[in-house]
Amino acid sequence: MSSLQAVHNIPEICARLGVTDVVLSPGSRCAPLTIAFARHPEIRVRTVPDERAAAFIGLGLAQTQRRAVALVCTSGTAGLNYAPAVAEAYFQQIPLVVFTADRPPEWIDQLDGQTVRQTDLYGAHAKASFTFPTDTTHADAQWHATRLVSEAIGLAEQFPAGPVQVNVPLREPFYPKAGEELTFGPVKVTRELPGRPQLPAPTLAELAEAIRSTSRVLVVAGQHPADMNLLLALHQFAAAYQVPVVGDLIANLHLPAAVGYDQRLRPLGRQDVFMAVPEPGLKEALKPELLITFGQSLISKALKLYLRNAKPAQHWHIQPAGVVADTFQSLTKTIRMEPADFFVALLTVGTRSIADSIAASEALNTSLIPGATIASQSSNSTVTAPSHTAAQDATRVAAAPTPAGTPRLTWSGSGGQLSEAQTMTKAAYLKPWLAAENWATGFLQEFMQQPKQPFNEFTAIYQALQQLPDHAALHLANSMAVRYANILGLPAGRNIEVFANRGTSGIDGCNSTAVGSALAQPERPVVLLTGDVAFFYDRNAFWHNYPTPNLRVILLNNHAGGIFRLIDGPRQQPELEEFFETRQMLRAENTARDFNLRYFAVSSFAELESALPVFFAPESGASLLEITTDSQTNAEFFEQYRAAVRTSFSS
């Protein structure tokens, strides 16, 4: 038996446990792993020379497929280049199994080439680190090696999922002799069987009663992959308990919950707009007494700061396992269940008759229009729903008509868990949320479509988002791209899943993650919306030999890293241009040519309007649309938008 047989068995263990995608970067020390994975008939191996890009491409594959992907690299600093993606995977709970080839232990710290201290290389940013046995000639060592890889894969996929390192010390010779065949197995694997935690019925009944008896209950969703079962359960829960549900774009609550579902009733997503309204009465009307959260991070800083200031008396977070963050400094309960299971369970606790539910629903089925009065339950004041104020310049917008399909307070079956008095009380809290959402939707529509705008990236993004192909996967790069998109949202009823690297919120692998997504689902349009700094920083994402005809990259190039002109602090400093903005004069045409991407360049609304249909057309293949704007103009227009939000609200 070959001295490397235990190493050659690693791909067999991976395949048996469902890890069939591998992204590796070439090297000498990792040759035994490379050859074994490349020759295994059930493993798909992709080679990406740049380890940082390779790791993020692997992350994109795992994020899209929702199962573990393996990474393989040589010894030395190669593994360190995985670190940004490993950290992102850890905080975004994405399973990666990272195989780092290494020198044998006796050569560590002996000035040997390509040698660093690789044990526990990722520290607190990996779920665990395993060390593969160096000598596997003994039967016990072979058993240990097999068990170790099984445990690593199981741990990577166990909730909360995340990255796991397997460090593999290897001695020469690395390569099989000419004509030597590799054999795989037989191996014994250990499988993790997932369980679903449930709460006892009396505990669920207590939670349901707390929700029924609390007037102001708010559900806020953090980043979460698209989940139709969760969406449907959440919508039914919100209807039954008359609870507003709020989520950023990356929470994927905007997706249709079912075929034919009434989009007027979808969860709210305009909080970045209406939370910027400087109206104390509105903020008081929106204040929750009980906050229920699930998912990961929020994009909306305005909502995050609001909930930290308007602390609820109770905050429940739903998460089946793992460490729970106290993001709003108000956490009182951790509910160890899957969010979908939790909302379904509460629908089965003490349901009223459908006839009673419908009767209560019809009594409250009142449309909300701009100008309607909202009662604040905790004060004697009233808040008037925002309305638009007519003006001629870009800082004010003309009154917009009520958007078609204004959300109703209720629908058939609403209030199914409540008495009539409870339904009325909860509706008084629901009203200001819906009114604010309606105002923000109408405001944005009117503001973004105003004539005679200077060419700017905010409006350009708005126009591009309107034309996204249905069923696309939208990847949002960090910095301004993800913030713009969260403000603007997506057209109602569109089946577009949204991804973003908001675990660490870095720019370092945004291109590569989208490339991984495109490789994972070649039949689905994958659109990356990115800024110039993130794009040029990660150009090696395209340095590989695998076609991605479904990939579309929208690049906002303001030659500056313009976010620093938009946030208070750096934009007021004399060092802004040299030390914050990352000024650069690069254009993406050469990058597109180098990596065989069809290139579109626009610098006006007319050019953008002409380019978008061709850019998104399936026959265009992998394409790059570079939208060139001026950083100063972008900042001025965005400030006009913010001023309009503040001044268009009238009470």
The pLDDT of residue 566 is 60
Please give the CATH number for the structural domain made up of 450-649: 3.40.50.970
Beta bridge partners of 25: none
SS3 for 409?
coil
- Residue 370 pLDDT more than 50? no
Name the band, by pLDDT with cuts 50, 70 and 90, for residue 582.
low
Per-residue pLDDT at 181:
82
Residue 39, SS3 per DSSP: helix
Confidence of residue 406 (pLDDT cuts 50, 70, 90): very low
Give me the pLDDT at residue 612, please.
98
Answer whether residue 66 shows pLDDT above 80: yes
pLDDT digits (tens, 9 = 90+) for 498-537: 999 999 999 999 999 999 999 999 999 999 999 999 999 9
> Residue 417: what pLDDT?
82
Confidence of residue 484 (pLDDT cuts 50, 70, 90): very high
Would you report the helix, strand and coil content of the chain in percent, each value rounded to 5?
40, 15, 45
Rounded CA-CA distance 409/416 in Å is 14
What is the rounded CA–CA span in Å between residue 307 and residue 300? 11
Whether the pLDDT of residue 404 is over 70: the answer is no
Per-residue exposure over 418-447, b if at least 16 CB sit within 10 Å of its own CB, e if not = beeebbebbbbbbbbbbbbbbbbbbbbebb
Contact 108, 117 (CB under 8 A): yes
pLDDT at 562: 52
Q: In 3D, which of 583, 584, 537 has the Cα closest to residue 564?
A: 583
pLDDT at 357: 34
Query: Do the domains spanning 4-169 and 450-649 agree at the CATH topology level?
Result: yes
pLDDT at 373 over 80: no
Q: What is the pLDDT of residues 153-194, one digit of tens each?
A: 999 999 999 999 999 999 888 887 777 788 887 898 999 888
Is the pLDDT at 149 greater than 50, yes or no?
yes
Helices 631-648 & 420-448 angle (0-180, nearest 10):
140
**Residue of higher predicted confidence among 278 and 40:** 40
pLDDT score at 183? 85
Residue 602 neighbours by CB under 8 Å, 6+ apart: 460, 608, 611, 625, 626, 627, 628
For residue 127, pLDDT over 80 is answered with: yes
User: Domain extents for the chain?
Assistant: 4-169, 201-348, 450-649
CB atoms within 10 A of CB 617: 12
Fold of 4-169: Rossmann fold (3.40.50)
Mean pLDDT, the chain, integer: 87
> What confidence score (pLDDT) does residue 383 get?
41
Residue 485, pLDDT score: 97
**Which CATH number does the domain 201-348 belong to among 3.40.50.1220, 3.50.50.60, 3.40.47.10, 3.40.50.720?**
3.40.50.1220
Sequence-ordered list of residues with C-beta below 8 angstroms from that of 328, at least 6 positions apart, any chain: 291, 293, 304, 307, 308, 311, 312, 315
Tally of residues, the chain: 651
Residue 451 burial (C-beta neighbours within 10 Å; 0-12, 13-18, 19+): exposed
Encode pLDDT of 547-575 as tens digits: 999 999 999 999 876 565 565 666 666 66
Question: Residues 323-360: pLDDT tens digits?
Answer: 999 999 999 999 999 999 999 999 988 554 333 433 33
Residue 287 has pLDDT above 50, yes or no: yes
